[in-house]
């Protein structure tokens, strides 16, 4: 069950990234980030009604808030690099870090990972790289070796990884309340950055449906990953949740009629293999 929830979160994250990326072509990335965080709250309210909680402690809320802070930092950096048109350079680093760091945490804390799961983890990392990396001929050497860009990617990866790890420290009995604590930090930070002039606002008139869809999908993905990490091994669930590029690429192929490259097709095949091995 936890693996299924983590995979569902990857699907939802992947599609929300796709819709958010389309919206970002028309308005500021910070507009998409801030408003999608806010407009997803009704889904969280519905989740609180459906998913019961028997005991919510300060420990749960604290870890939820910590996860929210680090998660929004990762989100902000990811969107800023997307707006700069360099996401293809940093995405492999972010994807690998967001999956790899929780695995190292799991091993350090004594979590058991079988040999077939290790194979799945390695295959998943390779799949994310193939799905997000550009060929050398399509980007400049300066971009590929930009130390500042690499540092930003590492910070974003660390932020997403801590988000997974922090929510994994919450108890199953707390239900979705840690996510309430997390979103109580992300919404003020995102709107604060927007209103302080982190980016030009732009008009939402032509993209509000896309932003609404992004927010609802993102919140549903967050709910799925919280339930997954509360119930299953953080190492496996975090890797499955980090397979979202598979579904972003799939959405681009289906909706935008993009022709997948051989590299992307191999990445999708490897991701499918990883899903099977990690589900064991």
Cα 226 to Cα 179: distance, rounded to the nearest angstrom: 7
The mean pLDDT of the chain is 79
CA-to-CA distance for 182 and 188, rounded, in angstroms?
11
Non-local (6+) Cβ contacts of 60 within 8 A are 170, 171, 174, 177, 178, 181
Residue 69: pLDDT over 90: no
Residue 142 pLDDT: 44
Contacting residues for 145 by C-beta, under 8 A, at least 6 apart = none
State mean pLDDT over 204-213.
84
pLDDT in tens, 112-142: 777 777 787 787 777 767 765 555 444 444 4
Measured between its terminal Cα atoms, the distance across the chain in Å is: 11
**Average pLDDT, integer, range 53-58:** 88
**pLDDT at residue 112, rounded to an integer:** 74
**Contact, 185 vs 70, CB < 8 A?**
no
Alpha-carbon span 171 to 230, nearest angstrom: 6
Compute how many other C-beta atoms are within 10 angstroms of the C-beta atom of residue 208: 14
Share of the chain above pLDDT 90, in %: 19
Q: Residue 260, exposed/middle/buried by CB under 10 A (0-12, 13-18, 19+)?
A: middle
Residue identified by tokens 């922090």 is 166
- Quickly state the pLDDT bin for 177 (edges 50, 70, 90): very high
- To the nearest 10°, report the CA torsion of 34, 38, 40, 42: 180
Give the C-alpha separation, 15 to 200, whole Å: 25
Rounded Cα gap, residues 48 and 203, in angstroms: 32
What's the pLDDT tens digit per position in 239-252? Answer: 788 777 677 777 87
227 contacts 5 by C-beta, under 8 angstroms: yes
Give the pLDDT confidence of 9-40 residue by residue, as tens digits. 989 988 887 888 788 778 877 788 888 889 99
What 8-state DSSP symbol labels residue 256? S
* Whole-number Å distance between alpha carbons of 192 and 208: 20
pLDDT of residue 42: 94
d(CA 91, CA 134): 10
Residue 200 has pLDDT above 70, yes or no: no
| Cα 240 versus chain centre, distance | 11
**Per-residue pLDDT, 145:** 41
pLDDT surpassing 60 at residue 89:
no
Instruction: For the chain, give every domain's residue range.
Output: 2-278
Confidence tier at 166 by pLDDT (50, 70, 90): very high
Higher pLDDT, 225 or 88: 225
* 184 within 8 A of 92, measured Cβ to Cβ: no
Token pair belonging to 45: 């309210």
Structure confidence at residue 217 as a pLDDT band (50, 70, 90): very high
Tokens (6 digits) for 250: 């799939």
Higher pLDDT, 206 or 83: 206
**Token pair recorded at residue 75:** 């989100």
């Amino acid at each position: 069950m936890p693996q299924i929830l983590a995979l569902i979160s990857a699907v939802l994250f992947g599609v929300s990234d796709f819709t958010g990326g389309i919206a970002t072509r028309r308005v500021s990335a910070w507009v998409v980030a801030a408003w999608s965080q806010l407009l997803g709250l009704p889904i969280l309210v519905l989740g609180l009604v459906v998913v019961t909680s028997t005991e919510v402690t300060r420990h749960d809320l604290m870890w939820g808030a910590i996860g929210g802070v680090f998660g929004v930092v990762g989100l902000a950096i990811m969107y800023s690099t997307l707006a700069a048109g360099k996401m293809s350079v940093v995405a492999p680093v972010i994807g690998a870090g967001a999956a790899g760091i929780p695995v190292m945490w799991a091993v350090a804390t004594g979590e058991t990972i079988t040999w077939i799961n290790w194979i799945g983890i390695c295959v998943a990392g390779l799949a994310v790289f193939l799905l997000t990396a550009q060929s050398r001929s399509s980007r400049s050497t300066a971009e590929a070796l930009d130390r500042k860009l690499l540092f930003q990617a590492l910070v974003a990866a660390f932020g997403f990884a801590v988000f997974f790890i922090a929510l994994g420290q919450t108890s199953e009995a707390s239900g979705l309340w840690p996510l309430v604590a997390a979103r109580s930090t992300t919404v003020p930070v995102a709107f604060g950055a927007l209103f302080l002039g982190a980016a030009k606002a732009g008009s939402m008139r032509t993209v509000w449906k896309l932003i609404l869809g992004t927010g609802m999908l993102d919140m549903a993905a967050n709910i799925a990953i919280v339930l997954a990490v509360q119930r299953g091994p953080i190492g496996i669930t975090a890797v499955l949740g980090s397979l979202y590029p598979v579904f972003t690429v799939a959405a681009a192929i289906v909706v935008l009629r993009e022709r997948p490259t051989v590299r992307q097709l191999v990445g999708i095949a490897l991701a499918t293999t990883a899903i099977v091995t990690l589900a064991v």
